[in-house]
């Protein structure tokens, strides 16, 4: 079988599994008051983002990150589809790993109760370790932790200056979940009743909620918004957006604002989306942002030598044409795609170029957990490997080697990005286009900040004669350990080392 959009293409579970699924939905009581979390003096604090333009997002697949409580390790094994033991306690304990990197927000996979068994259509036992196969939307899966621990995570992230986005699913439940048994076709489409369009189809054979049904809406809104209200998360990552009708999302927006505040952030997954594709959800204000699926392939293709630099420059211009006030989030690897390092044939020089392009582009850069330390992110299911912890005794990834030099490079680029508003909110202008190199200028009219970004994908160093941008005063110094530019009147002479991206800013001037 094959995989698409985060789910597996196989029939519904065997009837024998129905016997494993029991119980009914219940509305939990609010958790007790949070225990004290660390004070800012005890933890690595990041400068909070000034707006979502300024955000750097870190995506954690909870089960594969860090195991902080081996007492909740049910169904844990070494297989690619087993639970591996990562949980909320482990993430809380390792939050400094993320804040020290410079990230301002965390997105974590869903935490709700998953189906109790596994499916095997992909040729191995596959459990709901990823969180997308819910069996009870009103309960937290004990393999991940408790609702109280989710609230503690949010408080601990806030103490470090970071926001938290929780992944939520409205479109479907898990294979043969309790909802199929208890509510049947009144609430769900499954089997022969699945449609053949985005709204009524059963994505990867998963039971599809009839979200047009007001009773279903109330149930799902109560579950997801209630959990957010009790735990204090800052927003949702919305799964499978295009498979739910627009009027649902409009009502959802109204509900989140009424219950969770005007600033509650909604970041949606529209498979294949970019600024243009996402606009039908932006124009009616159904969500704040969406994922830019175009960036991964475009950046990788460019550094591999495909297409001319001027064409890539035009692409960068187009991808920034997003409706004002809305956001796209661009990534290099994800849980649903092949890893960038794999696609680049393991070439870390080219990967570093992609990272620099990601960090100098408008939008919300999203880092897939462990990518910053060279995690082996393969083809599904091997794109969901364990977080590498090196010699630190943190399971499930203890002993897996990590690249600390690469992590330092990420930290440098994130710090540069956040220090220069011209990168995250400024205008962009292409200045120089060669056979394998390009130079563009970013300028923020509000602050006056400006940088030059010089890119060379070739195997030899090049020297580019760059016209001095209007308003640029003084010389141009490198922020990325490269050579400074030589001034020559109305232009700079910029040497760009092989296979590198250099960022330059105005230096001292009289």
pLDDT tens per residue, range 272-299: 999 999 999 999 999 999 999 999 999 9
pLDDT of residue 13: 36
- Helices and strands of the chain, counted as H and E runs: 14, 22
Torsion of CA 270, 274, 279, 281, to 10 degrees: 20
**Which DSSP symbol is given to 115?**
P
CA distance 464 to 234: 44
pLDDT of residue 436: 98
pLDDT of residue 108: 98
pLDDT band at 11 (very low <50, low <70, confident <90, very high): very low
pLDDT of residue 507: 87
Residue carrying the six token digits 């040729």: 123
Among residues 240, 235, 272, which one has the least CA distance to residue 256?
Answer: 235
| Residues forming a β-bridge with 209 | 188
111 in Cβ contact with 150 (< 8 Å): yes
62 in Cβ contact with 135 (< 8 Å): no
Parallel/antiparallel/unpaired status of strands 57-60 and 105-108: parallel
Structural domains in the chain, sorted by start: 3-21+49-419 (3.20.20.80), 427-506 (2.60.40.1180)
Structure tokens at 207: 């039971």
* Rounded percentage of the chain residues whose pLDDT exceeds 90: 88
76 in Cβ contact with 98 (< 8 Å): no
Instruction: Provide the mean pLDDT of the chain.
Output: 92
Q: Could you give the angle at the alpha carbon of 427 between the alpha carbons of 422 and 432, nearest 5°?
A: 100
pLDDT in tens, 27-56: 444 444 444 445 555 899 999 999 999 999
Interval 463-483 mean pLDDT: 92
pLDDT band at 489 (very low <50, low <70, confident <90, very high): confident
Asked whether residue 8 carries a pLDDT value surpassing 70, the answer given is no
SS3 of residue 192 by DSSP: helix
Count other Cβ atoms within 10 Å, centred on residue 120: 15
Interval 494-508 mean pLDDT: 94
CA distance 457 to 429: 19
Helix axes 348-359, 294-303, angle to 10 degrees: 130
pLDDT of residue 199: 97
306 in Cβ contact with 350 (< 8 Å): no
Among residues 323, 416, 314, 406, which one has the least CA distance to residue 365?
Answer: 416
Per-position DSSP letters for 382-414, written without gaps between them = TTSPPPP-TTS--SSSTT----HHHHHHHHHHH
pLDDT of residue 487: 84
Least confident of 24-33, 209-218, 224-233: 24-33
| Backbone dihedral angles phi then psi of residue 425, each to the nearest 5 degrees | -140, 0
Structure tokens at 424: 């995250």
CA distance 165 to 252: 16
Interval 129-141 mean pLDDT: 98
pLDDT in tens, 327-376: 999 999 999 999 999 999 999 999 999 999 999 999 999 999 999 999 99
* Rounded percentage of the chain residues whose pLDDT exceeds 70: 91
Which residues contact residue 98 at a Cβ distance below 8 angstroms, ignoring those fewer than 6 apart?
58, 60, 106, 162
CA distance 65 to 412: 23
Which residues contact residue 459 at a Cβ distance below 8 angstroms, ignoring those fewer than 6 apart?
498, 499
Count other Cβ atoms within 10 Å, centred on residue 280: 12
| Backbone dihedral angles phi then psi of residue 409, each to the nearest 5 degrees | -65, -45
By CB atoms closer than 10 A (0-12, 13-18, 19+), residue 308 is middle
Among residues 160, 131, 143, 147, which one has the least CA distance to residue 68?
Answer: 143
pLDDT band at 509 (very low <50, low <70, confident <90, very high): very low
Give the global pTM. 0.92
Torsion of CA 168, 154, 293, 501, to 10 degrees: -170
pLDDT of residue 38: 55
Interval 286-313 mean pLDDT: 98
CA distance 356 to 481: 13
Among residues 97, 88, 87, which one has the least CA distance to residue 46?
Answer: 97
Count other Cβ atoms within 10 Å, centred on residue 12: 18
Asked whether residue 21 carries a pLDDT value surpassing 80, the answer given is no
Strand arrangement, sheet containing 491-496: 462-467, 491-496, 486-488
pLDDT band at 210 (very low <50, low <70, confident <90, very high): very high
Which residues contact residue 481 at a Cβ distance below 8 angstroms, ignoring those fewer than 6 apart?
none
Asked whether residue 4 carries a pLDDT value surpassing 70, the answer given is no
Residue 314 CA from chain centroid, whole number: 25
């Amino acid at each position: 079988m094959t995989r698409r959009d985060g789910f597996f293409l196989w029939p519904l579970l065997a009837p024998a599994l129905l016997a494993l699924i029991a119980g009914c939905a219940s509305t939990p009581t609010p958790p007790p008051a949070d225990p004290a979390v660390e004070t800012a003096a005890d933890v690595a604090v990041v400068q909070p983002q000034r707006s979502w333009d300024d955000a750097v997002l870190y995506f954690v697949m909870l089960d594969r990150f860090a195991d902080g409580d081996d007492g909740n390790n049910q169904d844990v094994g070494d297989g690619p589809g087993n639970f591996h033991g990562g949980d909320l306690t482990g993430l809380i304990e390792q939050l400094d790993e993320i804040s020290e990197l410079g990230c301002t927000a965390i997105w974590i996979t869903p935490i709700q109760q998953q189906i109790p068994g596994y499916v095997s259509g992909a040729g191995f036992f596959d459990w709901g370790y990823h969180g997308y196969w819910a069996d009870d939307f009103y309960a937290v899966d004990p393999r991940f932790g408790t609702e109280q621990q989710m609230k503690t995570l949010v408080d601990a992230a806030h103490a470090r200056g970071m926001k938290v986005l929780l992944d939520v699913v409205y479109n479907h439940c898990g294979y043969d979940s309790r909802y199929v048994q208890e509510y049947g076709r009144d609430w769900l489409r499954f089997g022969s009743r699945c449609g053949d369009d985005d709204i009524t189809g059963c994505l990867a054979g998963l039971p599809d909620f009839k979200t047009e049904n007001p009773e279903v809406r109330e149930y799902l809104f109560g579950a997801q918004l209630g959990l957010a209200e009790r735990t204090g998360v800052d927003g949702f990552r919305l799964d499978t957006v295009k498979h739910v009708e627009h009027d649902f999302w409009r009502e959802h927006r109204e509900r989140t604002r009424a219950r969770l505040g005007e600033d509650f952030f909604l970041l949606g997954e529209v498979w294949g989306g970019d600024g243009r594709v996402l606009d039908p959800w932006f124009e009616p204000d159904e969500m704040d942002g969406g994922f830019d699926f175009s960036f991964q392939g475009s950046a990788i293709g460019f550094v591999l030598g495909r297409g001319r630099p001027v064409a890539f420059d035009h692409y960068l211009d187009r991808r920034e044409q997003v409706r004002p006030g809305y956001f796209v989030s661009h990534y290099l690897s994800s849980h649903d795609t092949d890893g960038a390092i794999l696609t680049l044939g393991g070439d870390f020089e080219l990967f570093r170029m992609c990272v620099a392009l990601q960090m100098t582009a408008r939008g919300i850069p999203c880092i897939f957990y462990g990518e910053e330390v060279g995690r082996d992110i393969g083809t599904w299911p091997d794109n969901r490997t364990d977080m590498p912890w090196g010699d630190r005794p943190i399971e499930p990834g203890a002993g897996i080697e990590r690249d600390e030099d690469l992590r330092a490079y990420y930290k440098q680029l994130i710090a540069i990005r956040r220090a220069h508003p011209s990168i995250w909110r400024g205008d962009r202008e292409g200045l120089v286009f060669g056979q394998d190199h390009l130079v563009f200028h970013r300028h923020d009219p509000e602050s006056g900040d400006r940088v030059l970004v010089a890119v060379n994908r070739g195997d030899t160093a090049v020297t580019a004669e760059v016209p001095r941008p209007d308003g640029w005063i003084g010389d141009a110094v490198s922020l990325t350990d490269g050579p400074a530019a030589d001034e020559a009147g109305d232009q700079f002479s910029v040497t760009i080392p092989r296979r590198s991206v250099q960022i330059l800013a105005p230096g001292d001037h009289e």
